[in-house]
Amino acid sequence: MIKIEISKTLQSKIRKGYPWVFRYQIQNMIPEERQEHLGVVYDHKNRFLAVGLWDPCSDLCFRVLNLGAPKEISSDFFREQLQSAVKIREDLKSQGTTGYRVINGENDRFPGLVLDRYEDTLVLKLYTASWFPFLDELCELFQKEFKSQQIVLRLSRNVDKFLNDKSKYRDGQVLYGNKNSGWVQFKENGLKFVADVIEGQKTGFYLDQKDNRLKIMKMAKGLSVLNVFSYSGGFSVYALVGGCDSVMEVDSNPFALETSLRNLKLNFPEKSFPSKNFIQKKGDAFQILAQLKSENYYFDLVILDPPAFARKKKHKTLALDAYASLAKAGAQLTSGVLYTASCSAHVSGKEFYDAVYLGVRSTGKKFEEIARTGHAHDHPAIFPEAFYLKSAYIKIS
């Protein structure tokens, strides 16, 4: 294993549960030819502190697997971690949910690994190539636990870019089962949805917004709704099931808009879409919001759920400007409720909320915060950077 030396300050942070070591924080020289996939951190007294994944190709080069006492990283270790993750999600099926997150990376002690379940299909997404040597035993473990018919591998951009024609793995690869189609059907809070787990965004569906979708459903009765960055229509379906009067969707992706129609038809098989109370607008969200304002549109509920505006730390300033502009545009179109969200991990909660209220305040309207929310409980977070989803419900007067 790779031996890693770090500062006393970082040692203390890791003891408290912080799961990462970045390359610039390592104090000893590690030869580049060392291609091992596990590393060990020792404290300043040369005592074992943590074992974890070593990724020489990433600035985030060490991710904690186990802390405190030495432990063999084996199938038994992974089984124990998996069983703990499964236990905290036991109530989901009784809620009519068969699409949910089984493993949420570092927060379930599988650093850099996400496992989402869609009925009988599992989607395994990796954020570090250090998991590749363990994939065979992980697939066997997951298949035994869930009796899945299919396991699909998805790779993050930072992993995918290092692969070549000789690589054993690729994004969208079916690791177990037959590849018939990327489309799977599942339920969330009793509602039906489809997702393309091979080519869709993330693992196919934005599972982290489950609780917020339910909240929207409960407040939607009789309202006109604008759903911006609608993707596959999750918020739209919930709003219509909740009895809203109308929904307008905005998205630039024709694939997303078509998927939204599929999800609507699953839940309203007797209706035709688009319809007089459901329309879609394809194009740039900011441009369409400006157009709607110029045409004097007004909505009772405006939903703003954009993709990450800051994929890297250097993009944060531009992202905050975008969140402020978006909140302003949304607030201008309602005298009801504005729901706005950020999934940018590089933007803190305070930074996001400050940007949102800067935008809303610039409209000159009175406003009041109703609630702040985050991800659903199948996305546990045990360290600050894991709280990536921030959202607010704001009453606009």
What letter would DSSP give residue 74?
S
276 conformational bin, left if phi > 0, alpha if psi -120 to 50, beta if neither: alpha
Domain identity same for 224 and 135? no
Instruction: State residue 349's pLDDT score.
Output: 94
d(CA 127, CA 155): 7
Give the DSSP letter of residue 143: H
CATH of residue 298: 3.40.50.150
Q: What is the reported pLDDT for 267?
A: 97
Q: What is the CATH number of the domain that holds 96?
A: 3.30.750.80
Same domain, 238 and 350: yes
Q: Note down the domain range covering 15.
A: 2-67
Q: Are residues 181 and 262 in the same domain?
A: no
* CA 318 – CA 310 distance, rounded (Å): 8
- Among residues 391, 326, 329, 376, the alpha carbon closest in space to that of 104 is found at 376
Would 124 be classed as within a structural domain? yes
- C-alpha 74/C-alpha 260 separation (Å) is 42
Q: Are residues 289 and 363 in the same domain?
A: yes
pLDDT, position 196: 96
Cα(341)–Cα(375) distance, rounded to whole angstroms?
A: 10
pLDDT computed for residue 33 by the predictor: 65
| Same-domain pairing of 282 and 305 | yes
Q: With contact defined as beta carbons under 8 Å apart, do 237 and 214 qualify?
A: no
Question: What is the pLDDT, as a whole number, of residue 245?
Answer: 97
Of 156, 185, 214, which marks where a domain is finished?
Answer: 185
d(CA 391, CA 355): 12
b/e sequence 229-268, b meaning 16+ C-beta within 10 Å: bbbbbbbbbbbbbbebebbbbbbebeebbebbbbbbeebe
239, 227 in Cβ contact below 8 A? yes
Distance CA 275, CA 256 (A): 18
Residues 295 and 362 in one domain: yes
Q: Is 193 inside a domain boundary?
A: no
Give me the sheet containing 299-304, strands edge to edge: 278-282, 246-251, 224-228, 299-304, 334-342, 390-396, 367-373
Q: Does 85 map to a domain?
A: yes
Catalogue the E-assigned strands of the chain: 2-5, 20-22, 38-42, 48-54, 60-67, 99-104, 113-118, 121-126, 150-155, 173-176, 183-188, 191-196, 224-228, 246-251, 278-282, 299-304, 334-342, 367-373, 390-396
| The residue type at 139 | C
Do residues 275 and 356 both lie within one domain? yes
- Residue 250 in contact with residue 283, Cβ under 8 Å? yes
Token pair listed for 326: 């978006």
pLDDT of 69? 87
Do 333 and 377 lie in a common domain? yes
Residue 283 neighbours by CB distance under 10 Å: 11
CA atoms within 13 A on the CB side of 215: 19
Q: How far is CA 362 from the centre of its chain?
A: 30
- Total-model pTM: 0.94
Tokens describing residue 102: 């089984």
What is the C-alpha separation between 229 and 19, in angstroms, rounded? 32
29: domain CATH number is: 2.30.130.10
Map tokens 């970045």 to a residue: 22
Q: Which of 185, 214, 232 is the last residue of a domain?
A: 185
Residue 171 CA, distance from chain mean position: 17
Count of domains forming the chain: 3
Joined together, the tokens standing for residue 221 give: 């009765």
pLDDT computed for residue 57 by the predictor: 87
Phi and psi at residue 190, to the nearest 5°: 85, -10
**Could you tell me if 222 and 354 lie in one domain?**
yes
Q: What is the mean pLDDT of each run of 10 residues along the chain (397 residues)?
A: 94 96 92 82 93 94 94 96 96 92 98 97 97 96 95 94 85 89 94 96 95 98 98 98 98 96 96 90 98 98 94 89 97 98 93 98 98 95 94 98
Q: How far apart are CA 309 and CA 129, in angstroms?
A: 25
Domain boundary among 51, 67, 83: 67
Q: Same domain, yes or no, for 10 and 114?
A: no
Same-domain check for residues 156 and 110: yes
Residue 200 lies in a domain: no
Alpha carbon 26 to chain centroid distance? 29
Same structural domain, 60 and 80: no
Sign of the Cα pseudo-torsion (105, 108, 110, 114, in order): negative
Residue 48 belongs to a domain: yes
Q: Is residue 201 part of a domain?
A: no
Q: Is residue 197 one of the residues assigned to a domain?
A: no
Look at residue 199 and tell me if it is in a domain.
no
Q: How many residues does the chain have?
A: 397
